[in-house]
Chain A
Amino acid sequence: MRILLLVTIFIVSTCGLIYELVAGTLASYLLGDSVTQFSTIIGTYLFAMGLGSYLSKFVRNKLIETFIVIELLTGIVGGLSSSILFVCFGYGAYFHLVLYFLVGLTGIFIGLEIPLIMRILRKNSSFKNLVADVFTFDYIGSLLASIAFPIILVPYLNLTRTSILFGLMNVGLALYLTYYFRIQIKRPTILFVQGLVCAVILTFGFISADTVQRMSEEEYHGDGIIYATTSKYQRIVITRDRNAYSLFLNNHLQFNSRDEYRYHEALVHPIMSQLNAPRKVLVLGGGDGFALRELLKYPSVKNITLVDLDARLVQIFKDNEMLNKLNQHSFSNPKVNVIQQDAFIFLQQAKGEKYDAIVIDFPDPSNYSIGKLYTTTFFKTLQNVMHENTIGVIQSTSPLYAKESYWCINNTIKATYLETVPYHTYVPSFGEWGYIQFSFKTCDQQLKQLPKGLRYFSSNEWKSMRNFPADMQHHEIVINRLSNQALIPLFEKEWDSLFE
């Protein structure tokens, strides 16, 4: 009996520390800044243990039953904690709150357990020996956990599996104790069934955890994947490397938070600063909210309509704490109106609404589906929402690596009787990148106003951006139409040759 309960202490303390380590590692992995994460989590955990110990005095009778029930709860809550945290991170819902709640809850359970065991054992041994034994095993368990965690558990099992495995240990212990004390407790069957249910849930989680896709993705992206999901339209993957986040849509890099400001300032400010107090802006694509962040720097802007097909993507960038920090909570700004719609269909159905500025940030034309958004029919339809002074801009792949594609887009826009101003900039993550400004009238290209606090764009820079050196010039005459989608083979050819 004494040995059994000491083993129990050993297991309880090991599991407790493991949950704490999992939470700390996971938080510092997802949120960065490991010093803060670990110290706040350890603090919360220890405090919660104290709270648990305090609460233990309210347990008057049925000590063994209570202990077993708490053991089961610890197993389920602790075991599934990392799964729950991953899901919360993905859905962006109150990650911090859930994190500290789970840490606190596990702490309370563990805190309850130690005093309970001591009270159960009190009848069999002297207080002196009891305190010595309990704390000895408690600390040995902690030592073992803290050594096994980085050396064995994380490398071989990963975080989610580690926590589930220890959850199973808690549950297993509870089952064994139920069996051992079956005579002393009132309704052992109920406890037994509860224990089995917990065990089944955890075992399922443990088995189903293996997904080949994520492993291969990780090899592709190199950095650690902190979030991955498949929306109705695309595969969304967010990675983090130290303090930089990257977004991949269908394995194409969309931004890296280290240098996205260059890309987005160059996308938004040239046209916005040429306009006279633009009020209404249309953004097509741009579900990451970065173009919004730049647009909101203009006080004259009263209303921004953002049309993105993928509601899931927008939702991640609206709700996730790490990501909406990057776009400065643009999606929560009352001036912003998000429409979940296919851009082409949105333009087709537009009813006389006109916009002063149009920012188009579609993915590159790497397949026939997206290619439709770079055709003459698209730019003709776009004119439905333009008035005579509207200026628009579209990201147009790289004029250095894919110059034929770049100039093909320029020709396509011109073929619909719009005036264009091609320009480009350097974004380290992408390389040399191109944009095309378009309007009905010929623009004088003079910058009228620039908001304060830009990190990259300036009127000096604007001069050099419009200059195309010889290696970026090309006299392509192909026009991209719905009936030929001539851009797609060009784009494939050029980017493929780059990686040969």
Chain B
Amino acid sequence: MQRRSFVKYLGTISLGAIIAPKLLSCESERKIRLKTIGAAIERGHLLRQPSKHFDQYPVSKKQQKIVVVGGGISGLSAAYHLKQLKEDDFVLLEMNQQFGGNSASHSNEYSKFPLGAHYLSLPNQDNWALIDFLKKEQLIVGEQDGKYIYNDAFICHSPNERLFYRGSFQEGLVPDYGLNDATHQEIESFFNWMKQLKNATNETGKQLFSIPISNCDYTPHLKDLDTITFKDFLDQHQYTSKELCWFLDYCCRDDFGAGYDMISAWAGVHYFAARKATPSNAESTSVLTWSEGNDALVNRLKKHFPKHCKEDQLVIQIEELENHVIVRSFDVEKQIINEYTCEQCIVATPSYVNKHILHSPQWPKNFFEGIKHQPWFIGIAVVSQLPHINGLSLSWDNVAFGTKGLGYIYNQHQSLKTYPKGPFVLSVYITLDKAVDEFERRRLFEMSEEKMTEIVIEELKTMHPEIEKDILEISFQKWGHGMVTPYPGALAKHHAFVELSQNAKRTHLAHTDFASYSVFEEGFDAGRNAALKVVHHV
């Protein structure tokens, strides 16, 4: 007797067949639920066509020693450092209900998820201000042999990155499977070169590449890098293989919103040579991450000064006068004007806002003109299941070689549950690169949910061909002005900023725009520097 015969099928299947037709008939036209998050667009755009409410007589006139304008990371860091410096006479004004700017987050019934910034790279050893903050917040829990021990719960769990390349998922984002020797060598050589540049110094022995940028020293040599694009620079040095160039282009689109043929060669090199963390219990390239992204850091900053935070305050005018600064804000909820008269003002708003609201002899309007931001959108897709694909299992960052998008982040990755179980919440990042002008921004502004759905599904389908049927809902977050893009000349702009801010008396600018790099570390540093100046002036 063959045992085979016993097993060909289970009784359950034959019984199941009796009820199956009933279930089949229930299947009807399935629709993906779509929604758009965030009201920021309407609020910010009030500045372009000033409302008649702006001319009202202020309902309140307050005296305040310091006013911080803008509740993104720069403004929060400024407030945090004011507090650390024992300065308590300040307010922080934010136009949205939620603080955090690009680091704000949202949630659905399955998970929290960030609307923008997802992670913090481990800081360089000399970024002691940030390290001090991380220690106070128990994100750094100790030190061993001079290396910091980070809180294991928040270091991105393994596997952290996978690339869909040649039909399967490989570990890491640099293409690796089946490359010929020449390409392998080229990739290796590029990374070795960048490793050397991490230690590059100028004549006085100061480092050339570091984050924050205020820890770097200037050398005329960098000026040449800042005049050409990253792609031209790589061409000059014969780095031309398709795989390496795709990877570098991906990195630029991911961090700057524009491709490697558009950004400054300085910014490209800076990206690879400026990070030098040497943690004790993680890789130097590790990141800290939370399901709500950097909103976790926003909350850790904000909790130190909850009473100083004023939400729904759209600042419409900052006027620097000889002896004081007048800040007028429009309360978007109550539709009234508040006026603050202060000694010092920290302007932690982006350049495209500054040009509308800032009136200061120190800061010429045209200074803000050359600074550009890319339009982005994020589709937060809820999928009921995510079947295993060849290669590495579901990771935190999941990218497909050669697509237009930037892949997706798996938001529940830091969960300690043994088996990831659906529904999965995936953030799909789409940048509208090669889209520098207002025309593209308008295109995004007017883009329908259906069109965005199409783009998001196309991106996901590259990696998961069957996924469409499993998508339950997609929420969208549009960023008309996403991250700042370091076009050639970005470094020169930074130096211009440093010079102008040295002469600033009452209005101090704090923003990642002037570092040409929208990352937490730069915002944190910009806010801290402004706070130090303000306290020095008072």
Contacts and interface: CB of A to CB of B under 8 A. Distances in A.
Interface of A: 25-26, 29, 80, 82-87, 90, 150, 154-155, 157-161, 164, 201, 204-211, 214-215, 217-218, 223-226, 228, 232-233, 309, 342-345, 348, 367-373, 375-377, 380, 481-485, 488
B8 A209 contact: yes
A86 B1 contact: no
Contacts of A208: 9, 13-14, 16-17, 20
Contact of B153 (A158, A226, A377, A485): A377
A205 B15 contact: yes
Contacts of B153: 377, 482
B5 A157 contact: yes
Given A83-B11, A90-B12, A484-B283, A158 B156 contact: no
29 contacts: A29-B6, A86-B11, A86-B12, A158-B6, A161-B9, A205-B14, A205-B17, A205-B18, A214-B10, A215-B8, A218-B4, A224-B4, A224-B6, A225-B3, A228-B7, A232-B421, A309-B418, A343-B418, A345-B416, A369-B418, A369-B420, A372-B157, A377-B152, A481-B158, A482-B152, A482-B155, A483-B160, A484-B282, A484-B283
A368 B5 CA distance: 36
B152 A483 contact: yes
B201 interface: no
Contacts of B418: 233, 309, 342-344, 369-370, 372-373
Contacts of A160: 8-11, 14
B537 interface: no
A483 B4 contact: no
Interface string B130-164: 00000000000000000000001101111110000
Contacts of A233: 418-419
Interface in B398-457: 416-421
Given A25-B1, A209-B8, 5 more contacts: A87-B10, A160-B8, A345-B417, A481-B155, A482-B158
B503 to A, nearest CB: 45
Most buried by A among B7, B8, B159, B281: B7
Given A150-B1, A159-B6, A309-B418, A204 B14 contact: yes
Contact of A207 (B17, B417, B420): B17
B507 interface: no
A343 B417 CA distance: 8
B286 A483 contact: yes
A210 B8 CA distance: 6
Contact of B157 (A84, A159, A370, A483): A483
Given A342-B418, A345-B417, A158 B155 contact: no
Contacts of A370: 418
Nearest to A201: B18
B204 interface: no
Given A80-B15, A87-B12, A368-B393, A218 B2 contact: no
A210 B5 CA distance: 11
B1 A85 contact: no
A196 B14 CA distance: 17
Given A201-B18, A309-B419, A483 B282 contact: yes
Contacts of A215: 4, 7-8
Given A25-B1, A367-B393, A228 B10 contact: yes
Contacts of B11: 80, 82-87, 160
Nearest to B153: A377
A211 B286 CA distance: 45
Contacts of A214: 7-10
Contact of B158 (A150, A204, A210, A485): A485
B417 A368 contact: no
B410 to A, nearest CB: 12
A483 B4 CA distance: 45
Contacts of B17: 204-205, 207-208
Nearest to A25: B1
Q: Give the dominant DSSP class at B's interface.
A: loop
Nearest to A155: B2
A155 B286 CA distance: 58
B8 A204 contact: no
A154 B1 contact: yes
Nearest to B279: A483
A217 B152 CA distance: 39
Nearest to A153: B5
A407 to B, nearest CB: 19
A342 B12 CA distance: 28
A371 B11 CA distance: 35
Contacts of B2: 154-155
Contacts of A217: 7
A119 B393 CA distance: 70
Contacts of B152: 375-377, 380, 481-483
Contact of A90 (B6, B10, B283): B10
A215 B2 CA distance: 13
B14 A218 contact: no
B8 A158 contact: yes
Nearest to A376: B152
Nearest to B282: A483
Contacts of B416: 342, 344-345, 348, 372, 377
A29 B417 contact: no
Contacts of B13: 205, 208-209, 211
A25 B153 CA distance: 55
A224 to B, nearest CB: 3
A402 to B, nearest CB: 19
A481 B151 CA distance: 11
A83 B14 contact: yes
Nearest to B392: A368
Contacts of B15: 80, 83-84, 87, 205
A237 to B, nearest CB: 10
Given A344-B416, A377-B153, A224 B158 contact: no
Nearest to A373: B418
Contacts of B283: 483-484
A160 B158 CA distance: 46
A370 B158 CA distance: 12
Nearest to B155: A483
Contacts of A29: 3, 6
Interface in B1-51: 1-18, 20
B417 A211 contact: no
Contacts of B18: 201, 204-205
Nearest to B157: A482
A204 B14 CA distance: 7
Given A345-B417, A367-B393, A484-B158, A226 B6 contact: yes
Contacts of B12: 83, 86-87, 90
Closest 3 CB pairs of A and B: A83-B11, A205-B14, A224-B3
A344 B58 CA distance: 56
A47 B10 CA distance: 29
Contacts of B6: 26, 29, 158-159, 224-226
B417 A209 contact: no
Contacts of A228: 7, 10
Contacts of B393: 367-369
Contacts of A225: 3, 6-7
Nearest to B171: A489
Nearest to A203: B17
Contacts of B1: 25, 150, 154
A222 to B, nearest CB: 9
B258 to A, nearest CB: 31
Interface string B271-311: 00000000001110010000000000000000000000000
B22 to A, nearest CB: 12
A164 B12 CA distance: 13
A200 to B, nearest CB: 9
Nearest to A219: B4
A344 B415 CA distance: 10
B290 to A, nearest CB: 14
A159 B18 CA distance: 19
A218 B7 contact: yes
